[in-house]
Structure 1
């Protein structure tokens, strides 16, 4: 299991703690400190779509100008990995976005 999140994100901390308590041993990838490969971002964009993957409510998004916001989603996420909605969790059986009840029901 691979867990993409931010160490400073409350939702990511709750999700990681719950997964660990449930017996999983996720490999934590801090999107700010470690970065996310272009290949992984492409896979996430294919799996979830740009509308779901890009967090347009974030302070990072609000700090971008119109030209930056108009960039190709892959380019935008490579330059600003914290724009990615979190967490993204990869398992052998699938990929999951966020930490809603639907994701918790599958993974816990």
Structure 2
């Protein structure tokens, strides 16, 4: 994992803010669209190893409530990976991969630190 790749979906407001920030600061990046390309298993596993599945899986979004109750109550790391690969919209956005590290969500101050 080198360079900068941002993972998510185009119509997500947080994604739009993050990409606008990158554009404004002239930072080159690759956009990986979950809707067209699905989730990247290696990056997903790296993010879960770094941040924990409980952080990577977005329980506040619209995908989580639509999961069967049994899937939610029995969720663990392995099941989180399977669920996210099947339903990439459940992954917290944006997922940013930069210089061998992963970052979740968009926080302008964090991005400023990452890219300085």
TM-score relative to the length of structure 1:
0.89
Aligned to 1:41: 44
Greater than 4 Å deviation, 4+ residue runs: none
- Structure 1 SS opposite 2:11: coil
- Asked whether 1:86 is paired with 2:88, we answer no
- Asked whether 1:52 is paired with 2:55, we answer yes
Residues 1-108 of structure 1 aligned to structure 2 (within 5 Å)? 1-69=4-72, 70-71=74-75, 72-92=79-99, 94-107=101-114
Q: Distance in 1 between matches of 2:106 and 2:49?
A: 19
When the two structures are aligned, how many residues end up with a matched partner? 108
Q: Distance in 1 between matches of 2:110 and 2:100?
A: 13
5+ unaligned residues in a row in structure 2: which ranges? none
Does 1 or 2 have the higher relative contact order (CA < 8 Å, sep 6+)?
2
RMSD over aligned CA atoms reads: 1.6
Q: Which sits farther off after the overlay, 67-76 or 52-61?
A: 67-76
Contact 1:88 1:96 in 2 (8 A): yes
